[in-house]
Structure 1
Amino acid sequence: MTDAAQTAVPIIRGAALRRFGGGVYPILAVLIALIAVWYLAAAWMNSTWTMDQAARAGTSPGFSEILADTMSQDRPKLPAPHQVAAEFYDLVFNKPVTSKRSLVWHAWVTLSATLVGFGIGTVLGIVLALGIVHNRAMDLSVMPWAIASQTIPILAIAPMIIVVLNSIGITGLLPKAVISAYLSFFPVVVGMVSGLRSPDAMQMDLLRTYNASRAEILWKLRFPASVPYLFASLKVGIAAALVGAVVGELPVQQGGLGARLLGGSYYGQTVQMWAALFMAAILAAVLVLIVTRIEAGLLKRMGLRQ
């Protein structure tokens, strides 16, 4: 190895460590702080039950006894992080994935409705955006209705959708997918409309100078310009679709993370509820990461990113 190479290796290694540490250390610091606050909140919220039990028994437990009890209650108001982690591990790794006690099985039920609803919402959002951009009547009529639709609380409309679809014989996956599509189409509409309208007047005039048709303007200018906007809205849309699937499972109770949450609330199984919440959060993070990876690959292929 040459002297220049020997000198460059420590410099490159130090730069890599600084880059790695600069991204990881702040995240670890925030994570440790959140866990510490979580433990303090769990001890404070769960101590009420411990003190009540001690008062009924006529005893006076010490601080260490109170703290130990608040960290190990079967049905705590707020479970400690280690309780949630143990429950999550048990329901994910110690249960067969085909068992209805497995979080993996419930996550698959929720994921299937999420993906179907996200697909429906994405297609609907893109079609509506194309109509809004190319038709002034749709711009004046459809867009206000799309905005107004998002003012209706999803908890109020979800049971109505389930009941109406069940009355015409549509059950199972599709009603939950419709609720997911209802939440996910709006971000796609807004993002796609913004993207399709993002080319400036000079670019539009240039294509008109070459006598380009509306279809050619769409495929050669508007659509490529809209891709970054589309993927930004898809990240929001897929997270909203997951929320819609979870909400759609609440009145149905046929499996899924939503059913798991509701079942835990019925029987006071707060640890089970928090484990299901973490599974939903992990599922959302994975879905957004997949969309991000697809975006990076597509933009690189289009020459918009190195």
Structure 2
Amino acid sequence: MNARATVLPVLTVLGMILALWYAAAVWMNATWVFDQAERAGATVTWAEVIPQTMSQDRPLLPPPHQVAAELWQGLFGQAITSKRSLVYHAYVTFKGTMMGFGLGIAFGVLLAMAIIRFRVMDMSVMPWAIISQTIPIVALAPMIITLSSQLGLQGRDLPKAIIAAYLSFFPVLVSMVKGLRSPDQMQLDLLRTYGAGEAATFLKLRLPASMPYFFASLKVAVAASLVGTIVGELPTGAIEGLGARMLIGSQFGEPLIMWASLFAAAILAGLLILVVGFLERAARKRMGVPA
């Protein structure tokens, strides 16, 4: 009963999405069918239009079954070393994502520690960190790539990693600041009565208290890193990576490639979030915290 109560709403929403998607595909792709019929001097009925909207080579909006077929072909119909394989392009994007994710975590945690330790950092740096997130990443990405090139930073992974780190450090920073400040004054006073210094207070109280906030932020940060990496692939002229694959599909009028790459990116994001959740459960178990 519980499983049915959980699965049924999900399937209902999924069915509604698919129905709306198919309806939109018929409506948008019918324009091409009517245009071809008009040029041929013929007339078509909706009974003839609907099948033709489901199998166009370059539809305005690909129906779900066409996207699924292209996604399957890209994931399992190619050798993973092929430049047409979505697994290969996902791996390229994954590398940039992990580099940016690691940089974002390191920068966010270190900055949060400095903000907690020094009040001047809280008053001066935190507002600028907040303001930095108001800059559109689409506008900032070309600037980062150009600056990286001028500084002689070779390779395409590093600029992408910087963009990914820019998006991922902020949720880590905010959550860690909140987590490190979560112990109340009574707990801090108790440790002082035991003669604990700042280092011991940090390691035995503040750091463990921040772990739930930290892992919650990682789920947001890893998704933001993936978005940053994909955005970073767009203005570089890259031919590898899911972002480059989306751009190629858009430039050459291949919407199926673009949509399949989009769903591949969504699958990659889901897998990364699952890995973060697994690490969170392992850490909680290690610390003796009930799941």
Give the alignment's TM-score, normalised by structure 2. Answer: 0.97
Asked if 1:164 corresponds to 2:155, the answer is: no
Q: Using the alignment, how far apart are the partners of 1:114 and 1:214 within structure 2?
A: 34
Contact 1:296 1:305 survives alignment (8 Å): no
Greater Cα radius of gyration, structure 1 or 2 = 1
2:40 aligned residue: 57
1:296 aligned residue: 281
Asked if 1:179 corresponds to 2:163, the answer is: yes
User: Which secondary structure state, in structure 2, belongs to the residue aligned with residue 251 of structure 1?
Assistant: coil
Shift of 1:261: 0.7
Runs of 4+ in 1 over 2 A off after TM superposition: none
Contact 1:75 1:269 survives alignment (8 Å): yes
Asked if 1:39 corresponds to 2:22, the answer is: yes
Shift of 1:55: 1.4
Shift of 1:169: 2.1
| 1:74 maps to which of 57, 80, 83 | 57
Contact 2:239 2:245 survives alignment (8 Å): no
Q: Percent identity?
A: 57
Contact 2:25 2:62 survives alignment (8 Å): yes
Considering only aligned residues, what root-mean-square deviation do their CA atoms show, in Å?
0.9
Contact 1:110 1:246 survives alignment (8 Å): yes
Q: Using the alignment, how far apart are the partners of 2:105 and 2:289 within structure 1?
A: 22
1:113-192 correspondence to structure 2 within 5 Å: 113-170=96-153, 171-192=155-176
- For each residue in 1:83-133, what CA deviation from the matched residue of structure 2 results, as whole angstroms up to 9, or x when unmatched? 001111111111111111110110000000000100010011000000001
Contact 2:109 2:176 survives alignment (8 Å): yes
For this pair of structures, how many residues does the alignment match? Answer: 289
Asked if 1:198 corresponds to 2:182, the answer is: yes
Runs of at least 5 residues in structure 2 that lack an aligned partner in the other structure? none
Runs of at least 5 residues in structure 1 that lack an aligned partner in the other structure? 1-17
User: Which secondary structure state, in structure 2, belongs to the residue aligned with residue 87 of structure 1?
Assistant: helix
Asked if 1:274 corresponds to 2:262, the answer is: no
User: Which secondary structure state, in structure 1, belongs to the residue aligned with residue 213 of structure 2?
Assistant: helix
Q: Using the alignment, how far apart are the partners of 2:6 and 2:269 within structure 1?
A: 21
Q: Using the alignment, how far apart are the partners of 2:206 and 2:3 within structure 1?
A: 38
Q: Using the alignment, how far apart are the partners of 2:151 and 2:120 within structure 1?
A: 33
- For each residue in 1:10-44, what CA deviation from the matched residue of structure 2 results, as whole angstroms up to 9, or x when unmatched? xxxxxxxx222222222111111111111011001
